[in-house]
Every structure is written in structure tokens, then in C-alpha cells.
């Protein structure tokens, strides 16, 4: 079956429920507006702060609805979902007074979130079956004690990119001042391969395309991204690009309805009547084979004379070895690996070669593989070979996840602290920083499982729910003495990820409530200012994250060598950031100027990169080994059972934000609830199964029962299930370079009883 198509959406059997955006989004806005919380919701949407949800970045000083170019109507229904959840009332006192941990552990993700907002600090002590109230003073004493008594190597933090730059900066300063590099972060489970891969090639690990520059492109290659659900405002850019005659090439083993047609509420009339075409070409490769796809494109350019040789020779090193790899790799090896034909790859390459300026954009379909970093390098190499980087309208653009995950990286919350920042921090702290390598998120769980971690501070997130192998994650966290979770709302991690001695659950102000100014950085390298706000919670006993971390640091270090208590003042924190974070010079004086800014040294409008010699560094990207286990690998089938092996992709539905599920159904993929597996109809037929059959899905680490098979537009040999429910299935097989798990290539066995009629 051909897996590429020149997309003519009018000929596709695409009912309205499967296109992206459209009427349902507009009615969603209507429902939100006229709900009981409507007024407060609109006030919050208009508040001068960045959207809580994704890193595309909307809001800030320009007002709640504008992007960095000041364009209005740039707010999507996902931000409404996130705000609505934050505007819930406090968790009723009866919940923690009366419900035992055993009961709380029965709650699914959506029910945890719907308990409401946390509004006072809580502690669960070993042997006690309840979370109980505790004072902030006791919290600080207890944590300072845990941090003082543990050796630096046995201390760790984990963070999730919702908090501010100021909180992120303080977190890493505190950890490093205490001598620990164990700064695990959600980016370890997300875009770390993008940071590492891009740094290898261009010397800088973020997008090198600004929003302004994207608007000058006439080609976009969108790889492994479900942007209609996860970055809805990016869709406006794709719609505009198609309207100016540009080409959108989508590479994805799943045909996502919203990547064929999307109705954007930013263009309301058109959205209701028509919706816009997105993909010009849709390639459906084997999951995990994207390096082969890009080698195929490069080889086609080489053979057709479409390589931008003058550009390559003037602005890159290492192209000779890459050229050798392309000549030495047979078409057969490439097409066998990716499952696309030579004609499909040549056709796509030729189409891209006619574009004036191409942006290569990607998300988790590229990074969630054991060769994620290589995938990223293969994309970056393609940009260089085709001359599509270092000029307006062209470049490489990782589409970031959490709204401030990129800011966390810039602030040094990373196990890969870069030298200029290390030197600046050493000058600030007046001593050398520890050189012991830190734990990233996977290493942290492994180390905890070996009993090598005493205390863990979690600034947001859900370390339990986000990790592979939930059984191991629960056990590992259970071996840490003290765990503190700073959070706005309860999640499953707070009930399943309990420490051996004590677990603290500490409520914080969210971004639009924090009583002082903060900043965040978008995936487009734009630093936004968030104005102070207030909370709707009555009797709230919340802390600001900055205030909390500065107090803890003060109790640990007194006034040496910096005035830690003074760091409760975020203006002072911003002064330190301006002095020590490369690219953040614009932070100096921001409180007076109110001027948001682009981080310097990131966006390349000329082909002079941030590597030592200013040239891009190309290296060959080996084809991945995509072998797959057989039924015996899973212990075989029992008598009276039938089954087959699938390559499982674990992804998000449009009704969830990471481990927090808002809505059970995924209308766009036709998956009515969370216990479903999307499968190709031909696979169903081949293996003698029928739509809606209930099966057991067995992975290498665990299994799930009663999963309903849903036929859909997914490549043969693959299935798709939702995270975090599916995380019980997989082992933590990871990219060796940065520990990012292969969440998009999980081997599973589908098993069921033989039907009576088949006996």
C-alpha cells in the first residue's frame, strides 16, 4: 500500500468530527464563556501573563491574546482548559481528612485533577494512612534538615516546565550551592535529544527560527507532531503558508485528521464553513525510522544535483563523511528501514527542492526513540544540505512542550550545564561547582530504585506518571526518604509516588496568581513578562515558588556567599539571571523597561552558527536497527489464546495535558475512551480480530486488560495508546545520549482467547 499521498482532502473520507479545530472548538469557547466561571475565565485570559499550556507562547505584556508580533486572537481552547482547571475551588477538607491513601490511589488522572486546588500544606508520614496538615515553618525545618543531612550526591530535584524562570534559576542555584548536579527535568523525557542534537550541529540547542522568520517560509516539513491538538496556534501559521502557495510535508505513521484539514477559530467564518487544507504531502513511515526518511531525502538531493553545495562548503564541516554515507547507503537499505518507496522519497525531495525557504519542525515522534538524538541530527543535516538554515524563512524548529520548559533549560536546570554559565555561577558562588555528573529523569529513577537517593524536591510535574514502567517508578520513589511535591493541583504521582519516611504536598500560586512579576521563555526564544495576580481561593495558604526556594536556601546557607533571603525579591533574581545566563542580557532593566525580548544567539538570520568556528558540524547518521521481537519474547501464548506483536506508539489525546486527563474520549481519532488501542483495519483482518474486540496488551514491563481495538488511519504493524495509562507496559529503554525513553516504539503482544467458532 502506498504510504505517501499528494493530499486532496476533498477526496478523503473525512467526516467533520475528524478534521481538527472547527465547530467543536467554537462551541467549546461558547460553553466556557457562558459557564459559571465565564467571567473569571475571561478576566484570566485577558490577564497579562503567558498561556499556561504549551510553549508556542501566547500572552504576556501584549495582553492575554497576543503573540510576540502583537497579533490578536492568538489564544486557543487548550489554554481555556488549563485555566478552567486552575480556577476550580479548593479540594474540600473532607477529602484529605476522610479518604485514606488506599482510596486516593484508586482515583484515575481526571478524578485527581477534579478534586480541586491544593490550598494548604500537607504531610504524609510513614505508617500513616492519611495526608495531614502541617505549617510552612515545619515544612521548611523538615526540608532543610533533609537537605543538610544528605550528601549532595544523594539529593535530587525534578521539575516540570510550568514554573517561572526565576523559580527555575533559584532551584538550580540552590542545588548547585549544595553541591548537587542532580537536576532532573521533564525535558529529559521530552526534547532533550533536540537540545543535544542541535547543539552538536549548530552549537545552540533551541529553535533557530523566529515567528517572524517562519512567516517568510514557503515550505514546512512537520515531523512527528500532532500540532492540531498540542500546539493549535502553529496551525494558523500552516494555514497561512498554504494560502501563500507554500508546501507542507507531514511525516507521521498516523494520519492525524487535523493535519489534513483544520478549522481555526482565528479565522472564524472560514473555519465554520470550510476549514483549511494543511498537508500537501503526507508520508507514513515505520515508527522510529525517521533517520532513514531523511537519509532518503538527502540521497535523492545528491543524485538529482539539488544539494546546495556552495552553501554547504562555505558554512559547514564534515560534509565529506556525510556524502560518503549517502553514496554508500543503498536505496534498498533506506526504503526497507522506513517502509517508504524510493519514488515517494524522490518525489518529496524534488518538491522540497522547489521551495525557496523551508522550516523543518518536529516534536515527540522524533525524540521519543532510542536514536532520538540521531533523528534530530539527520533533520539538521537535511537543513544544511538543502541550504535551509541561517536565513529568513528557513531553519530547524523543535516544537517545545511545556509553556516554560525552554526557560528551565536556559536557567541551567539541566544535567548538561554549559561552560559559560558554569563559569558565571562559579564566580557568583565564589567556588568551583561539583563535577560529579547529575541524574537525568531516568537515572534518577534508576538510582532511587537502587536506594541511592535520600531527598527529592519536585517543582511541579508528575515524575511517577511521566516515567516508563510505572511499577518501577512507584517502587523507586518509595525508596527515597523524603519527597516534597510543589503543585497547584493533586495528581496520581502524589498518591502513588510516596517517600519512605515522609511526603510533603505543598500548594503554590500558579502563573496568573503569583503576587509578584515573573518571566517565561517560549519555544520561539521569546521572553515574556507575567504581571502579578491574585487567587480566587478563599483561606488560601499558598506559597510563591520563588519565596519558597529562597527561604529554603536561606535556612541551608544563611547569608553566604550571597544574600539568599534577598532572593525572595524576584527583581534581584532577574539581576542575577541577566549577569549569569548567556543570551539573557535583555533581562537587565526589564522591570523598568517592560520590554520583552528575544534571547540572543539563538535565531540565525545569517549562516554563522554558535559553534566554535561558526560553521555547522555535520556527521553521518547511522540507519537504526528496527528489529522487532516475536511472540516468544513475551513468553509465548497460552493454550486457547491467539495473538500478534505490534509496535506501540504512546501519545496524547486532544483532551489531556500530559499526565492530566481532562476528557476521556478522543473524537478526532475515533477513540471513545482511554482503554482503547488504535490499529490498522488490515491488521485486524490479517490476525483474525474485529473492531471493538477486547484484548490484553502485554508489554515488557506489565500488561493492561480489556483494551478495545479501534480501527483507524495508522500504518500497518503499529498501534497507538494513550499515556500515562500505557506507561505500565514499557521498560525504560532510552536514547543513550540523554536518557529520553523510546515512548514511540514500544513492543507489545496483543493477546485474546481463541473464539469458540475458531476452535
Ligand X SMILES: Nc1nc2c(c(=O)[nH]1)N[C@H]1C(S)=C(S)[C@@H](COP(=O)(O)OP(=O)(O)OC[C@H]3O[C@@H](n4cnc5c(=O)[nH]c(N)nc54)[C@H](O)[C@@H]3O)O[C@H]1N2
Residues that bind ligand SF4 (CB under 6 A): 51, 53-54, 56-58, 75-76, 78-79, 231-233
Residue 325 parent element (H or E): helix 319-328
| Residue 315, binding choice from ligand SF4, ligand X, Mo ion, none, Cβ under 5 to 8 Å by partner class | none
The nearer residue to ligand X, 83 or 217, going by C-beta atoms, is 83
Q: Shortest gap between Cβ of 316 and ligand X (angstroms)?
A: 25
| Residue 51, binding choice from Mo ion, ligand SF4, ligand X, none, Cβ under 5 to 8 Å by partner class | ligand SF4
| Residue 76, binding choice from Mo ion, ligand X, ligand SF4, none, Cβ under 5 to 8 Å by partner class | ligand SF4
| Residue 184, binding choice from ligand X, ligand SF4, Mo ion, none, Cβ under 5 to 8 Å by partner class | none
Of 9-17, 118-126, 301-309, 393-401, the segment contacting Mo ion by CB under 5 A is 393-401
Q: Shortest gap between Cβ of 25 and ligand SF4 (angstroms)?
A: 11
| Residue 56, binding choice from ligand X, Mo ion, ligand SF4, none, Cβ under 5 to 8 Å by partner class | ligand SF4
Instruction: Determine the 3-state secondary structure of 750 from DSSP.
Output: strand
Q: Are 159 and 169 in contact (CB under 8 A)?
A: no
Instruction: Determine the 3-state secondary structure of 112 from DSSP.
Output: helix
Tell which one of 190, 234, 266, 748 touches Mo ion (CB under 5 A): 190
> Which 3-state string (H, E, C) describes 727-740?
HHCCCCCECCCCCC
The nearer residue to ligand X, 230 or 377, going by C-beta atoms, is 230
The nearer residue to ligand SF4, 59 or 711, going by C-beta atoms, is 59
CA dist., res. 37 & res. 327, Å (int): 62
Q: Shortest gap between Cβ of 235 and ligand SF4 (angstroms)?
A: 9
| Residue 156, binding choice from ligand SF4, ligand X, Mo ion, none, Cβ under 5 to 8 Å by partner class | none
Q: Shortest gap between Cβ of 425 and ligand X (angstroms)?
A: 23
Q: Shortest gap between Cβ of 696 and ligand X (angstroms)?
A: 18
Q: Shortest gap between Cβ of 41 and ligand X (angstroms)?
A: 17
Q: Are 674 and 664 in contact (CB under 8 A)?
A: yes
| Residue 160, binding choice from ligand X, Mo ion, ligand SF4, none, Cβ under 5 to 8 Å by partner class | ligand X
Q: Shortest gap between Cβ of 367 and ligand X (angstroms)?
A: 8
The nearer residue to ligand X, 323 or 621, going by C-beta atoms, is 621
Q: Shortest gap between Cβ of 3 and ligand X (angstroms)?
A: 12
Q: Shortest gap between Cβ of 324 and ligand X (angstroms)?
A: 26
The nearer residue to Mo ion, 489 or 652, going by C-beta atoms, is 652
CA dist., res. 496 & res. 653, Å (int): 23
Tell which one of 401, 461, 724, 747 touches Mo ion (CB under 5 A): 401
Of 107, 89, 109, 108, give the one whose Cα is nearest residue 99: 107
Instruction: Return the exposure string of 603-624: e unless at least 16 CB atoms fall within 10 Å of the residue's CB, then b.
Output: bbbebebbbeeebbbbbbbebb
Q: Shortest gap between Cβ of 78 and ligand X (angstroms)?
A: 4
Three cell numbers written together for 133: 496538615
Q: How far is CA 48 from CA 42, 61, 65, 231, in A?
A: 12, 5, 9, 20
**336 exposure class (CB count in 10 Å sphere: 0-12, 13-18, 19+):** middle
Own/partner pairs for 306-311, CB < 8 Å, 24+ apart? 306/349, 306/350, 306/353, 306/386, 307/385, 307/386, 308/385, 308/386, 308/387, 311/384, 311/387, 311/607
The nearer residue to ligand X, 24 or 434, going by C-beta atoms, is 24
Question: Contact between 380 and Mo ion (CB under 5 A)?
Answer: no
Of 220, 366, 180, 181, give the one whose Cα is nearest residue 289: 366
| Residue 743, binding choice from ligand X, ligand SF4, Mo ion, none, Cβ under 5 to 8 Å by partner class | ligand X
The nearer residue to ligand SF4, 59 or 121, going by C-beta atoms, is 59
Q: Shortest gap between Cβ of 242 and ligand X (angstroms)?
A: 19
| Residue 75, binding choice from ligand X, Mo ion, ligand SF4, none, Cβ under 5 to 8 Å by partner class | ligand SF4
Work out whether strand 261-263 and strand 276-277 pair parallel, antiparallel, or are unpaired: antiparallel
| Residue 121, binding choice from ligand SF4, Mo ion, ligand X, none, Cβ under 5 to 8 Å by partner class | none
Give the residue closest to ligand SF4 by C-beta: 51
| Residue 7, binding choice from ligand X, ligand SF4, Mo ion, none, Cβ under 5 to 8 Å by partner class | none
The nearer residue to ligand SF4, 75 or 744, going by C-beta atoms, is 75
Residue 314 parent element (H or E): helix 309-315
Residue found by looking up cell 500504518 in the block = 715
CA dist., res. 674 & res. 665, Å (int): 7
| Residue 233, binding choice from Mo ion, ligand X, ligand SF4, none, Cβ under 5 to 8 Å by partner class | ligand SF4
The nearer residue to ligand X, 262 or 723, going by C-beta atoms, is 723
Q: Shortest gap between Cβ of 75 and ligand SF4 (angstroms)?
A: 5
End-to-end CA distance of the chain: 32
> Which 3-state string (H, E, C) describes 164-200?
CHHHHHHHHHHHHHCCCCCEEEHHHHCCHHHHHHHHH
| Residue 650, binding choice from ligand X, ligand SF4, Mo ion, none, Cβ under 5 to 8 Å by partner class | ligand X
451: left (phi over 0), alpha (psi -120 to 50) or beta: left
* Helix orientation angle between 470-477 and 441-449, rounded to the nearest 10 degrees: 60
The nearer residue to ligand SF4, 187 or 377, going by C-beta atoms, is 187
| Residue 251, binding choice from ligand X, ligand SF4, Mo ion, none, Cβ under 5 to 8 Å by partner class | ligand X
CA dist., res. 133 & res. 136, Å (int): 10
Work out whether strand 155-159 and strand 183-185 pair parallel, antiparallel, or are unpaired: parallel
Of 407, 406, 380, give the one whose Cα is nearest residue 395: 380
Give the residues lining the site for ligand X (CB under 6 A).
Answer: 53-54, 78, 160, 162-163, 186, 189-190, 223-226, 229-230, 251-254, 256, 287-288, 290, 363-365, 368, 401-402, 459-463, 466, 486-489, 491, 508, 510-511, 649-652, 656-660, 723, 726-727, 743-744
Contact set with Mo ion (CB under 5 A): 190, 401
Amino acid at each position: 500500500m502506498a504510504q505517501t499521498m499528494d493530499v486532496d482532502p476533498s477526496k478523503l473520507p473525512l467526516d467533520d468530527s475528524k478534521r481538527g479545530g472547527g465547530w467543536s472548538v467554537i462551541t467549546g469557547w461558547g460553553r466556557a464563556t457562558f459557564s459559571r466561571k465565564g467571567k473569571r475565565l475571561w478576566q484570566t485570559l485577558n490577564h497579562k501573563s503567558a498561556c499556561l499550556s504549551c510553549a508556542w507562547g501566547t500572552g504576556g505584556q501584549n495582553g492575554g491574546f497576543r503573540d510576540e508580533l502583537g497579533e490578536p486572537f492568538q489564544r486557543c481552547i487548550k489554554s481555556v482548559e488549563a485555566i478552567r482547571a486552575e480556577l476550580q475551588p479548593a479540594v474540600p477538607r473532607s477529602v484529605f481528612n476522610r479518604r485514606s491513601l488506599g482510596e486516593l490511589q484508586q482515583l484515575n488522572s481526571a478524578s485527581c485533577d477534579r478534586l480541586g486546588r491544593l490550598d494548604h500544606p500537607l504531610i504524609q508520614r510513614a505508617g500513616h494512612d492519611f495526608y495531614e496538615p502541617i505549617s510552612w515553618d515545619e515544612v521548611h525545618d523538615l526540608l532543610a534538615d533533609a537537605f543538610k543531612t544528605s550528601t549532595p550526591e544523594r539529593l535530587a530535584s525534578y521539575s516540570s516546565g510550568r514554573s517561572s524562570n526565576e523559580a527555575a534559576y533559584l532551584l538550580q542555584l540552590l542545588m548547585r550551592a549544595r553541591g548537587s548536579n542532580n537536576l532532573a527535568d521533564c525535558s529529559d523525557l521530552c526534547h532533550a535529544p533536540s537540545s543535544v542534537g542541535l547543539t552538536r550541529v549548530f552549537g545552540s540547542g533551541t529553535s533557530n527560527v523566529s515567528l517572524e522568520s517562519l512567516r517568510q517560509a514557503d515550505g514546512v516539513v512537520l515531523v512527528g507532531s500532532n500540532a492540531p491538538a498540542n500546539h493549535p496556534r502553529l496551525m494558523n501559521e500552516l494555514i497561512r503558508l498554504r494560502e501563500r502557495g507554500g508546501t507542507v510535508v507531514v511525516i507521521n505513521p498516523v494520519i492525524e485528521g487535523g493535519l489534513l484539514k483544520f478549522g481555526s477559530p482565528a479565522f472564524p467564518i472560514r473555519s465554520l464553513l470550510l476549514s483549511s487544507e494543511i498537508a500537501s504531502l503526507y508520508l507514513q513511515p515505520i515508527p522510529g525510522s525517521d533517520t532513514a526518511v531523511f537519509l532518503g531525502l538527502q540521497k535523492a538531493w545528491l543524485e538529482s544535483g539539488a544539494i546546495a553545495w556552495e552553501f554547504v562548503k562555505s558554512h559547514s564541516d564534515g560534509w565529506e563523511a556525510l556524502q560518503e554515507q549517502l553514496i554508500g547507503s543503498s536505496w534498498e537499505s533506506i526504503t526497507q528501514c522506513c517502509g517508504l518507496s524510493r519514488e515517494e522519497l524522490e518525489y518529496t525531495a524534488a518538491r522540497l527542492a522547489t521551495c525557496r525557504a523551508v522550516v523543518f519542525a518536529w516534536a515527540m515522534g522524533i525524540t521519543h526513540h532510542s536514536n532520538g538524538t540521531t533523528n534530530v541530527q539527520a533533520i539538521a543535516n537535511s537543513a544544511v544540505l538543502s541550504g535551509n538554515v541561517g536565513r529568513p524563512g528557513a531553519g530547524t524548529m523543535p516544537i517545545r512542550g511545556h509553556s516554560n520548559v525552554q526557560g528551565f533549560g536556559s536557567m541551567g536546570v539541566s544535567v548538561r550545564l554549559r561552560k559559560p554559565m558554569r563559569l558565571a555561577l562559579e564566580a557568583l558562588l565564589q567556588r568551583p561547582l561539583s563535577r560529579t555528573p547529575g541524574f537525568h529523569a531516568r537515572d534518577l529513577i534508576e538510582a532511587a530504585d537502587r536506594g541511592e537517593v535520600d531527598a527529592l524536591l519536585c517543582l511541579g510535574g508528575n515524575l511517577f506518571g511521566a516515567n516508563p514502567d510505572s511499577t518501577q517508578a512507584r517502587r523507586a520513589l518509595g525508596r527515597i526518604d523524603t519527597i516534597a511535591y510543589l503543585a497547584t493541583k493533586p495528581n496520581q504521582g502524589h498518591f502513588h509516588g510516596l517517600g519512605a519516611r515522609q511526603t510533603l504536598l505543598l500548594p503554590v500560586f500558579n502563573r496568573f496568581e503569583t503576587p509578584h512579576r515573573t518571566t517565561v521563555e517560549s519555544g520561539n526564544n521569546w521572553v515574556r513578562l507575567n504581571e502579578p495576580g491574585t487567587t480566587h481561593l478563599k483561606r488560601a495558604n499558598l506559597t510563591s515558588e520563588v519565596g519558597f526556594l529562597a527561604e529554603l536556601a536561606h535556612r541551608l546557607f544563611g547569608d553566604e556567599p550571597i544574600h539568599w533571603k534577598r532572593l525572595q525579591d524576584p527583581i534581584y533574581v532577574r539581576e542575577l539571571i541577566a549577569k549569569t545566563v548567556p543570551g539573557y542580557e535583555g533581562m537587565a532593566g526589564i522591570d523598568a523597561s517592560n520590554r520583552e525580548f528575544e534571547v540572543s544567539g539563538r535565531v540565525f538570520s545569517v549562516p554563522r552558527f554558535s559553534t566554535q568556528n561558526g560553521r555547522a558540524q555535520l556527521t553521518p547518521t547511522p540507519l537504526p536497527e528496527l528489529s522487532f521481537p516475536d511472540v516468544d519474547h513475551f513468553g509465548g501464548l497460552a493454550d486457547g489464546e491467539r495473538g500478534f506483536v505490534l509496535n506501540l506508539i504512546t501519545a496524547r489525546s486532544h483532551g489531556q495535558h500530559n499526565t492530566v486527563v481532562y476528557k476521556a474520549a478522543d473524537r478526532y481519532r475515533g477513540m471513545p475512551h482511554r482503554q482503547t488501542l488504535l490499529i490498522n483495519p488490515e491488521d485486524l483482518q490479517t490476525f483474525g480480530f474485529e473492531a471493538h474486540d477486547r484484548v490484553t496488551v502485554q508489554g515488557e514491563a506489565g500488561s493492561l486488560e480489556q483494551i478495545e481495538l479501534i480501527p483507524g488511519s495508522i500504518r500497518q504493524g503499529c498501534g497507538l495508546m494513550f499515556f500515562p495509562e500505557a506507561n505500565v507496559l514499557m521498560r525504560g529503554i532510552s536514547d543513550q545520549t540523554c536518557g529520553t525513553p523510546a515512548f514511540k516504539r514500544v513492543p507489545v503482544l496483543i493477546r485474546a482467547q481463541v473464539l469458540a467458532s475458531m476452535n
